[in-house]
Amino acid sequence: MNYSNRIQRLQAVLRRRKVDAMLITQPENRRYLSGYTGVDHGIGETSGVLLIPAKGNIFLLTDFRYKIQAELDVNWAKVILYPRGLLKLLPQLLGDLGIKALAFESHYTLHATVEKMTGVLEKVGVRLTPLKGLVEEMRLIKDEEEIACIRRSVKLNEQVFAAVYPSICPGQTEIDVALSIESAMRQNGAEGPSFSSIIASGDRSALPHAVPSAMKVEKNRPLTVDMGLILDGYCSDMTRTFVPGKVDDRYLELHRLVRRAQLAGMQAIRAGARASDVDKAARMVIAAAGYGEFFGHALGHGVGLAVHEDPRLSSQNHKQLKAGMVVTVEPGIYIPGWGGIRLENMVVVQEDNCENLNSDTTWLDI
Amino acid sequence: MNYSNRIQRLQAVLRRRKVDAMLITQPENRRYLSGYTGVDHGIGETSGVLLIPAKGNIFLLTDFRYKIQAELDVNWAKVILYPRGLLKLLPQLLGDLGIKALAFESHYTLHATVEKMTGVLEKVGVRLTPLKGLVEEMRLIKDEEEIACIRRSVKLNEQVFAAVYPSICPGQTEIDVALSIESAMRQNGAEGPSFSSIIASGDRSALPHAVPSAMKVEKNRPLTVDMGLILDGYCSDMTRTFVPGKVDDRYLELHRLVRRAQLAGMQAIRAGARASDVDKAARMVIAAAGYGEFFGHALGHGVGLAVHEDPRLSSQNHKQLKAGMVVTVEPGIYIPGWGGIRLENMVVVQEDNCENLNSDTTWLDI
């Protein structure tokens, strides 16, 4: 990846915003700008922070536990350890670098942290400036190298699905299925799942975010498998719904309806189309058939270094799509007591249409 | 769990702090107060927020995707859905409830969220008050029911280790070992691992936070297995280091040194002891043998609903321990190029000593 180009673009923004440097705390932004693979344990336990001066070389600030990883991943930047926490390091370091105006990611810094940091930095004459979404803005449009990574992530995800699918059968628990999938991901080189796999059988398929349970996969009932993995930092995300056993007419009707909605959504995608119009194109298909109230979530979301990122394909996002964005298209119908059906592919937005990144066709056009 | 007692204790604090209500956003705090098991996807994607008025019944605010889970888990509270986000719901709801002073968890609310919320709520005359660590303070001391949960979590974790240990052998990859462990956890009823298992062989055992890799377990070299699970919400955390194959004198010497440090730490634990003194008791054993510089992290941390919580057993925490706290005791020695050894048990602080929650003795006193 061309990290130096990304850093230079961010540095140009910092100079326009009249700040001397910026702290990057959001983990995917940190990886996007530097390639550092350190893993945080939630927002409270970071594996490191980037300090990006408005000009010149960048710094990776981290602690003892991540030293070797940091020096391995980011050998072109200066790695500095903070044995007593970031706040004890900053006053001296910022002073040495002559940094007086320091920006921070206000959308990934806790309110209490800002209060504490303000107190410490005021004393040494450093002013804090909240900035929001600068790197996320850059991450919206994927370059060719990123799209190649996402393609490989999608392909491996499909290979894992294809390998596990034949063994899925009634009597297995949802947890069994999830474990087969997540083991196959990691044994085939994925860093891990990009989110906890959703394996939902029968009634439970009506829960869009079901956690796999000890319930057994039911014969002749819908089974939803929503899975994704991380490969070289980039995420994939795919959902298939199918019926182990006999398919009844109602299932067939609803499945075909969801698939038509998905195709309508995909057909509406092109550079310049509003995200809300794409959502609407799919939603109208389901609403026209009388199932509008059973499709309670947005049509899709961006995917990249994060599995859920902008742009959202929702009725509330009126921004235009741009070429190089990567989004999911995942309509669903969820009927309490009956079950649910969701079908999800990933696509790249292009000038005149979109490219479907998925080649898996299991139970799509039935 | 006695949720109503916990809520009443928090409500008493809110009244003392002169606020009309508090939003609880931190996921473990939310579970501690209500039992709600919804899973967040990072701080940016919550599965719901508790609204705790200073008096009376509480509310669980969430979205469509978590409705069924919320109503299942917290059927004694009022569940309210926000189809367009929390900020669109709050002005009306707070108005209806007569809430004018609203506290929020400043240590688990993003700076940007507070800015946005302030703008929206000012217009309807609601004042925001940052409060920090109130529920964490309550969670420090575990009641009997909680200790029983932690005991079961530790026991299951040991059973999983005992089941997997005999099959660990040179030639397996670190990932293979991690997968066997994490699969066994989930197949035996755990909600999942409490953190990504650390499986580090040979040189890599010198990385305290190694991510399992495709490297093979090496014969006659140290192998560190650091694993924990979540059962009924409560975490366990245990580390064993051992040598598949032949143990040499240096390993034996260092292993016994780490074990002596662990025992010294455990012997220093009692109600009233300062956390920093407990850290020191273990650290001095390692320093006296000349390995002080190779023990770069704190001796331990609290464990409960979160796998890493207060109190920290570190040189910087001078607070006194109290009976009912649950902490890890995990000294380690990490020598680049040679490898590392860490041994970790969990204990409950008691009036005059501590109770070791682990009964596993694999490779402890060798």
Q: Is B127 on the interface with A (CB under 8 A)?
A: no
Q: Hey, are the CB atoms on B130 and A115 less than 8 Å from each other?
A: yes
pLDDT at B44: 85
pLDDT at A219: 97
Q: Which residues of B touch A207 (CB under 8 A)?
A: 65, 68-69
Question: In this structure, are strands A127-131 and B354-356 parallel, antiparallel, or unpaired?
Answer: unpaired
Please write the tens of the pLDDT for every residue from A128-158. 999 999 999 999 999 999 999 999 999 999 9
Q: Hey, are the CB atoms on A308 and B66 less than 8 Å from each other?
A: no
pLDDT at A84: 84
pLDDT at A148: 98
pLDDT at B84: 84
Of B175, B208, B308, the CB nearest to A65: B208
Are both A58 and A162 inside the same structural domain? Answer: no
Domain boundary among A114, A139, A164: A139
Are both B174 and B127 inside the same structural domain? Answer: no
pLDDT exceeds 90 at position A103: yes
Q: Is A112 on the interface with B (CB under 8 A)?
A: yes
* B208 vs B74 pLDDT, higher one: B74
Are both B116 and B85 inside the same structural domain? Answer: yes
pLDDT at A209: 79
pLDDT at A208: 82
**pTM of full prediction above 0.80:** yes
Q: Using CB atoms within 10 A of its CB, is residue B216 exposed (0-12), middle (13-18) or buried (19+)?
A: middle
| Residue B54 domain flag | yes
pLDDT at A83: 84
Are both A181 and A315 inside the same structural domain? Answer: yes
Are both B48 and B171 inside the same structural domain? Answer: no
Are both A254 and A268 inside the same structural domain? Answer: yes
Domain boundary among A139, A156, A177: A139
Q: Which residues of B touch A109 (CB under 8 A)?
A: 110-111
Are both A30 and A118 inside the same structural domain? Answer: yes
Q: Which residues of B touch A39 (CB under 8 A)?
A: 196, 209, 211
pLDDT at A210: 81
Cβ neighbours of residue A166 under 8 Å, at least 6 residues apart?
Answer: none
pLDDT at B42: 86
| Residue A364 domain flag | no
Q: Is A176 on the interface with B (CB under 8 A)?
A: yes
Q: Hey, are the CB atoms on A68 and B110 less than 8 Å from each other?
A: no
Number of domains observed in the structure of chain A: 2
| Residue A363 domain flag | no
pLDDT band at A258 (very low <50, low <70, confident <90, very high): very high
pLDDT exceeds 90 at position A176: yes
Q: Is B68 on the interface with A (CB under 8 A)?
A: yes
Are both B75 and B119 inside the same structural domain? Answer: yes
| Residue B365 domain flag | no
pLDDT band at B68 (very low <50, low <70, confident <90, very high): confident
Q: What is the mean pLDDT of residues B194-214?
A: 90
pLDDT exceeds 90 at position B211: no
Are both B79 and B220 inside the same structural domain? Answer: no
CA distance A362 to chain B (A): 26
Domain boundary among B139, B174, B205: B139
Please write the tens of the pLDDT for every residue from B328-337. 999 999 998 9
Residue in B closest to A66 by C-alpha: B209
Please write the tens of the pLDDT for every residue from A24-45. 999 999 999 999 999 898 898 8
Q: Is A271 on the interface with B (CB under 8 A)?
A: no
pLDDT exceeds 90 at position B227: yes
pLDDT at A211: 83
Q: What is the share, in percent, of chain A residues with pLDDT greater than 90?
A: 92
| Residue A361 domain flag | no
Q: What is the mean pLDDT of chain B?
A: 96
What's the CATH number where B276 sits?
Answer: 3.90.230.10
pLDDT exceeds 90 at position A360: yes
Structural domain that includes position B51: 3-139
| Residue B366 domain flag | no
| Residue B361 domain flag | no
Q: What is the mean pLDDT of residues A161-190?
A: 94
Q: What is the mean pLDDT of residues B280-297?
A: 96
Of A68, A107, A207, the CB nearest to B110: A107
pLDDT exceeds 90 at position A174: yes
Please write the tens of the pLDDT for every residue from A65-85. 888 889 999 999 999 999 889
Please write the tens of the pLDDT for every residue from B104-152. 999 999 999 999 999 999 999 999 999 999 999 999 999 999 999 999 9
pLDDT at A69: 86
Q: What is the mean pLDDT of residues A100-116?
A: 97
Are both B163 and B307 inside the same structural domain? Answer: yes
ipTM score of complex: 0.87
What's the CATH number where B9 sits?
Answer: 3.40.350.10
Q: Hey, are the CB atoms on A209 and B132 less than 8 Å from each other?
A: no
Are both B125 and B154 inside the same structural domain? Answer: no
| Residue A217 domain flag | yes
pLDDT at B307: 96
pLDDT at B151: 98
pLDDT at A222: 97
Are both A150 and A134 inside the same structural domain? Answer: no
